Chain A
Amino acid sequence: MSLVFAGVVSHAPGITGRAQRAEPAARDRFYAALDRLRLEMEETRPDALIVVGAEHFANFFMNNMPSLCIGMSDHYEGPIEDEQWLAIKRRRIPGNAALSRVLIERVMQSCDVAYAEEWKFDHGIMVPLHFLTPRYDLPVIPVNINCQGPPLIPLHRAWAFGKALRDACDAIPERIALVGTGGISHWPATPDSGKINVEWDQQFLQRFLANDRTALLGYTDAQTHREAGQGGFEIRTFLSVAAATEGQTGQLYCYEPIPIFAVGCTVARMTVA
């Protein structure tokens, strides 16, 4: 059929791994928003969920780093991290290789992507799945945008990728849900872990929810790095979702800066027309 659902969520490992150390009221508002997104996604009866993530050297390393990669397997596994550290039990996650292949071939009409028939999910995908598909009964198609370190795909190419993904979804009979996942401002895995630039985040979210292409493409990596930390490079995942829903706006379900989770915890849904 087409794209039936689009949203964005945070994925920081502390969200599950350090859950008990968060301020309970803020944490529970965030968890409730994730559950709301799950229920609304389920109402759209998706056949598969595309997760556009920004993984952290679990599969892709500097020996052969793709800017863009789409999974093409009937199953994946995760988390790659220690189960106790992430507080998510390791398991097999269903995929759909045939559906992946159709999508990849469509995307390739306008955008070069790598594919992967093997993929060990890290927290970047496992944390969203833990909340959005807790029964692990929905086939997942993982997508990665390298956001870890330069050279990084330019923002306008991340946008073009989101458009290509949308075109691919609209060309197939299956009902596809799309979730982008990344941090906004954050300094993960540094001595500044827990620092959050709330003002920067709010301005970014305003632009994202308004689907303001010009403003979103106006960020530079040097500026983002300076003001939003190296974790801010992950805005690429948000931009791909904005591109996939270009012309439509979104609604913010949650923004809670939770320092022990090292990120402004975000849940938003974009309208799909």
Chain B
Amino acid sequence: MTTVSETKWVGRAIRRREDPRLLAGKGKYIGDITLPGTTYVHLVRSTHAHARIRNIDTTKAENYPGVVAVVTGEEVAAAMKPMLVPSIIPRLGGELQIPTVYPLAIDKVLWVGDPIVAIIAENKYIAEDAAQLVEIEYEPLPVLEDPEEALKSDSPKIHEDWKSNVLWHGELGDGDVEKAFREADYILSERFYGHRTGCAPLETRGAVASYDDFTGLTLYINSQRPHILRMALSQILNIPHDKVRVIAPKDVGGAFGTKAPIYREDLLICYLAMKLKRPVKWIENRMESLMTIGQERDQIHYLELAVRKDGKILGLRDRIIADVGDGRTGVYLGFVMPWLGAAYLTNAFDIPNVHIDLSCVVTNKPCLSPSRAFGEFPARFAMDYALHLVARELNLDPRDVFEKNIIKKFPYVTATGITHDSGDYVGAFKTLLEALDYDRVKQEQKEARKNGRLIGVGFAMGAEMSGIGSQVFVAMENQPGYGSATVKIDTHGMVQVLEGDSPQGQGHETTIAQAVADELGVNIDDIYISYGDTFATPFASGTLGNRGASYTVSAAVLACRKLKTKIQKIAAYLLGIESDSEEFIFANREVIWKKDNSKRVSLDDIADVAIMAPTKLPPGMEAGLEATAYFEANIASMLSIGVHGAVVEVNPKTGDYKILRYVVVDDCGVPINPMLVRGQVHGGVVMGIGNTRYEKYIYDEAGQPLCTTLMEYHMPSAADVPDIEVIEYNVPTPYTPLGTKGKGEGVPGPVPATLASAITDAIDRPGFKLLNLPLTPESIWRALNEDK
């Protein structure tokens, strides 16, 4: 007699189910989708950062053999509403000026890369060649590259109908800040700058649209949020919702936030398919990608901390100026990121008195697009590095300053209104110091110094969002925060899960299956996951902000539980047992009675009865085995902590530094698949190191982007990063059914303060500080030589 199997899938580091097809080159990406009769689009983009368009001559391009159509701004605008419809405008209070946005530039260009003319041709080569024949006359206008310049009242207005260049201004905070500063023993006051950087997914953006009068518009697009896009398309293009179908491909080659907004090109491609009644395909090239998306951070913080002499932070004031670019991208308008940076500024610290004044300023650069460590990258740098500077100034051990200020009681609501649900931040912090062997490193530092070697140790906290509940998300982005999933058992007893999100490499086919396998007592190979098609999946906001493991997995679990109630009733009826419905165990594809485990029914038999032979169901019971659940945590938001530490060695002659150790203590509640969690942490740290040390979207004074290839925008390779040590320190959250939380989104955040504090500790010279990112050998060398 077999015993009840307790094979658990959650918690096991099984290999990703996605990988065999990806490793064999059989992934299906947007580039792989081509419909019969497809035409190809190439965009003529502005070469000026700010200019009036005097004339556009498309005659030669139109006459080029193989060109199907040449389209300019006014024609496209006439066919739709201004893109920023109310449903994709955040409602965060404050003062917001909304730009009028159409897919192509009309009369004026606002940044190098602003799309002006679309060439549609029989193939992409013809489209590119014909694009060279378009003649555009520009009248250059003054270029605004510096947000502090753009803030000045006598600056020219980028959006001429606005009263200033401030897209959004608002204040965040709570408590008695004046009192805190009056009572402070010491006030730290510094200007911190986090440069324009972010991400560069190797798969660029892409879309394939088709249209016919009967089925309407079908858009294949590598979007993180197909449902939201579908809703927006229907509204902007005035097409009934049932005639708009958005499908995200099965595989997306990384997004990191950049594929979450609603871009001007999305609308353009749809319009072209509707105009031409032929499929239209657009794949962004690398240069377009590097000059358009992935640009984030770009914040100046005038940060002040009111500190008691024992290192306790009594209050915080910050004036943030964010360079949001042209502000013309849907959903975020470039300002949601800096707003989040402000909202999460106090990180994992208990600072009751906070006042933040945030100005999001438009400049002649592309609009900020979300990027992993969403808005908080420069804020984490300013906050955590400031704590190290406080320790240095007050001659305290930075360990004690951190420990004194770390949040200890949960749930905790910050002065900016962010809810920390649960965790043990101090425990995680102490675990990091142990792992670093902090005291020994400090001892070794002294020894090394005698030999002329500069070694330093640094650390920082990262409280990263783990999805945002509707309480916050509805206001923030006009979108629900719930996770949604449908679980269906099919005629063969296989389990199909349909989720409303749309993963881009997170491994949902593995993790959701692990959770569902445990709930239904089936094997992971019995489960198949469907996503991306808005005609088949339940509505959801998309895969972003660490929502998967907290919200989406929980929805799948809840859907299973709804189904289990019905399955148990069927089992009891088939077994002829009087039983209430919670008396069965699900294991080995069987439903087993707890009281007598010889009484069991296979899931296949139950599926067969429920779907194929409903006459055998309990009288009156509805047929089918299918349930949908929408999961909303009973708390405004959840966060998961990651504590980073590094040991570095600095060469004071060159400013170069070597990362000798990099350690992360990580809490994700319950890891569904520890291998995937480690992968997320590794990837996040690498991205953080890239952003901190190598990557920068540079503009010259004329607003020309100087990093338009991966030669100039250098992302780290394996040779550029140290071994990353990850230590799990998991505290299950009581707010999700499995205790799981999301992980990965915020991981780059603590990297700059970790490295800056380690470098500063290594240099250990009064007055030496690193206030500007990136931390390149050059910037360190300059800082070293400036304060001499």
Genuine A/B complex: no
